[in-house]
Structures are given as structure tokens and as C-alpha cells.
């Protein structure tokens, strides 16, 4: 649909949260918790950290939580009885105050979980999530969204995008049908946008540092370049921080937990950085050392996903690099890969 532009007063933002709650929609937004910024349920505008660069973890937990029950079962002498878990129990939820990279991150997850027959646990939650993103007036040295096809004002994946344009005014872009329905809740607070409002004036300047096509090409050709992967990964300690904070990482593990009478099957986040990730029952591990696992991380995002799902598995949000305990900086690594050969 043709996007609509409206103006909202910044001072009316708190009314939006009230209206959403009045309609019975929970609101998830960035909240400060000490040094980290988590995305959580909020009661009012005052709870929301709108001035942070971005949340520590991505917003993927709204449709792909860190622990998710996918099956229940009971145990008796006669055997095991399965009790299916309804994947469609989420309420219509509004994800508010996230960044463009959060919203566009969902396109990788949509591609992965949407592949036929479709993962209902993800899809049903995602269907029920409306995304109101705020464009970025600032960026830091970890951000590189513009190098992977995104940007501080990118609207991909958002239902509505808000941009502060000064003088207590917010430019509201209504981008989807769902966005239209959400906007209807506060239609009386919206006024028509004057012609020629240029939001790019209010966006951060995020310089392009590499050509992502070149990165995809070089990555795909570098499987055997052992020295490259070793050099980049020597300080990597093999934790899961990067994968877990990443908006596009979707690998998961299943674990059954039970007592003598009943049990649950849980889906959990997993990381290709863990040494156990590819350990076979035979004891053989095709990715025995960290450089092989680092190679996998980069190739999955910049070679396999583009080939198979036609999407680059990275939004340039830089969360992985900020969260990394040993300062693995993916922007640096990708820039180096772009220059290979």
C-alpha cells in the first residue's frame, strides 16, 4: 500500500501507550535495567528508554523466545500421552520504540521459519506483533546498517515508523495495513503532514564501509582460506553472546524436561559458536576448532542464507560486537573480507 504520512506531537506519546492498553494490547518496549536495555512489557511511557541507541538484545524474543514450550506429555504405565501445545496463544502485541534494524531483522527470521510447512510457534506470534519503530537520530561506531542494505530510517519490517523532526513533532509513516489499524487508535492525535518533510535530515549519518555484494562473493569463495578465519577468530572464546543478541540468528535446540508423571518439550536458543553445536554421537565433530565455527557464522549469514533464502543474514546493528566479551567486531571482520583478493 501507499505509505501515509502524518504528524504526531511528542507530548502525546504517553496517550498512545494508554490507548493501546485500553484496547487490551500489551506494549513491549526498551527498558533500562542497570547497564543493559531489555525489551519488556511496559506500563507507561515513563518506563520506556527512547533515548538509548538500541536495546542490548534484539526484539526477536517477541516471536522467538529464549525458552518456549512446544509440547507437553504425561507418563503412565501404559505409555506416553502427548498433549499438543497451542502455538496461537499470544495476544495482539505492540512492539514499540525499537529501531529499524530490529524491524528488518525479522525478515531473516520470516524466511527461516516461514519455509514450508512453516513454524507455527514463530509465525503465530509474529502475526500478532505490530511493530512501531523509531528511526535513529544517532549511531555509534559499531553500527553498519547502511552497508547491508539497511539504514537509520529504513522502514522494512515496520508497520509504523516514527521520526522526531524537531519542535515537539514526530513524523509518522503508516506503512502497512496493520499499521493503518494501529494508527486508527490514535487518529485524533494525528494531523496531516505538510508537504516535503524530509526525514533524512533527522537521521544519523551511517557511512557505508563495505559493499555487501562483494562480502557475499568473497565469503562464498573463502571456505578454504584457513588463515583468514584463524586470524579473525583467535580471541573468540566460543560463547553464545553474539548469536543470542542477534536479531537474525535463529538456531535452536530442543530439550525435554520431566518428572515421573509429566514432561515438557522446550525449544531453546542455540549457538553455532558452541563446541557442542556440531558434535556427532559418534564423537566426530566437523567443526572441532573455533576458527571453523567462526567461519560458519560468517558464511551462514553472508553465503548460505543469500544463496538459499535470498536474504543477507545481518542487519548491521552491531549488537554482537557490543556484547562480545572479547571485542570480536563484525564490522571490522566484514570490511577485511570485502578486501580479500
Q: Give least dist CB 6 to other proteins, A.
A: 32
Which three three-digit cell numbers place residue 283? 564423537
- Window contacting other proteins (CB under 8 A); options: 31-39, 160-168, 187-195, 299-307: 31-39
CA distances for 196 relative to 170, 199, 200, angstroms: 14, 9, 11
Q: Residues 147 to 186: which contact other proteins by CB under 8 A?
A: none
- 336 is an interface residue for other proteins by CB under 8 A: no
Burial 64-94 (b: 16+ CB within 10 A, else e): beeebebeebeeeeeeeeeeeeeeeebebbb
- 138 is an interface residue for other proteins by CB under 8 A: no
**Closer CB to other proteins, 220 or 292, in the complex:** 292
**44, 14 contact by CB (below 8 A):** yes
Residue positions counted in the chain: 341
- 80 is an interface residue for other proteins by CB under 8 A: no
Listing DSSP states for 76-91 in one string gives: ETTEEEEEEPPS--PP
**DSSP reduced 3-state for 98:** strand
Q: Residues 220 to 259: which contact other proteins by CB under 8 A?
A: 230, 233-235, 237-241, 243-245, 253, 255, 257-259
Q: Give least dist CB 291 to other proteins, A.
A: 6
Of the candidates 291, 147, 306, 315, which has an alpha carbon nearest to the alpha carbon of residue 223? 291
Contact letters (x/-) for other proteins, 179-218, by CB under 8 A?
Answer: ----------------------------------------
The rounded distance, in Å, linking the Cα atoms of 175 and 326 is 39
The rounded distance, in Å, linking the Cα atoms of 80 and 73 is 7
Which three three-digit cell numbers place residue 32? 533500562
Q: Give least dist CB 270 to other proteins, A.
A: 9
**Closer CB to other proteins, 17 or 241, in the complex:** 241
Total of residues contacting other proteins (CB under 8 A): 62
The binding site for other proteins (CB under 8 A) comprises: 33-36, 38, 56-57, 61, 65-70, 72, 85-87, 89-90, 121, 140-142, 230, 233-235, 237-241, 243-245, 253, 255, 257-259, 261-264, 266, 268-269, 271, 274, 276, 289-291, 321, 323-327, 329, 332
Amino acid at each position: 500500500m501507499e505509505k501515509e504520512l502524518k504528524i504526531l506531537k511528542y507530548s502525546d506519546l504517553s496517550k498512545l501507550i494508554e490507548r493501546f492498553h485500553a484496547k487490551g494490547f500489551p506494549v513491549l518496549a526498551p527498558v533500562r535495567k542497570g547497564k543493559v536495555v531489555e525489551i519488556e512489557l511496559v506500563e507507561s511511557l515513563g518506563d520506556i528508554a527512547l533515548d538509548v541507541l538500541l536495546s542490548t538484545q534484539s526484539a526477536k524474543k517477541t516471536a522467538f523466545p529464549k525458552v518456549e514450550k512446544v509440547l507437553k506429555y504425561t507418563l503412565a504405565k501404559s505409555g506416553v500421552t502427548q498433549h499438543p501445545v497451542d502455538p496461537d496463544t499470544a495476544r495482539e502485541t505492540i512492539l514499540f520504540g525499537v529501531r529499524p534494524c530490529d524491524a528488518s531483522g525479522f525478515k531473516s527470521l520470516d524466511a527461516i521459519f516461514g519455509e514450508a510447512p512453516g513454524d507455527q510457534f514463530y509465525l503465530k506470534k509474529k502475526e500478532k506483533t505490530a511493530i512501531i519503530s523509531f528511526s535513529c537520530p544517532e549511531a555509534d561506531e559499531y553500527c553498519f546498517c547502511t552497508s547491508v542494505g539497511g539504514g537509520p530510517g529504513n522502514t522494512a519490517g515496520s508497520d509504523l515508523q516514527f521520526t522526531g523532526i524537531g519542535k515537539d513533532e514526530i513524523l509518522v509513516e503508516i506503512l502497512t495495513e496493520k499499521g493503518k489499524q494501529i494508527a486508527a487508535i490514535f487518529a485524533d492525535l494525528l494531523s496531516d503532514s505538510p508537504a516535503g518533510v524530509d526525514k533524512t535530515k533527522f537521521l544519523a549519518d551511517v557511512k557505508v564501509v563495505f559493499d555487501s555484494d562483494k562480502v557475499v562473493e568473497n565469503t562464498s569463495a573463502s571456505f578454504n582460506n584457513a588463515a583468514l578465519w584463524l586470524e579473525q577468530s583467535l580471541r573468540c572464546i566460543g560463547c553464545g553472546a553474539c548469536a543470542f543478541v542477534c536479531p537474525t540468528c535463529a538456531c535452536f535446540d530442543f530439550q525435554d524436561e520431566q518428572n515421573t508423571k509429566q514432561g515438557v518439550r522446550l525449544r531453546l536458543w542455540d549457538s553455532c559458536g558452541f563446541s557442542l553445536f556440531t558434535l556427532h554421537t559418534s564423537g566426530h565433530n566437523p567443526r572441532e576448532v573455533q576458527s571453523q565455527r567462526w567461519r560458519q557464522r560468517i558464511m551462514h549469514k553472508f553465503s548460505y542464507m543469500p544463496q538459499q533464502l535470498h536474504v543477507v543474514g545481518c542487519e548491521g546493528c552491531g549488537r554482537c560486537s557490543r556484547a562480545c566479551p572479547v571485542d570480536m567486531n563484525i564490522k571490522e571482520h566484514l570490511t577485511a573480507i570485502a578486501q580479500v583478493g
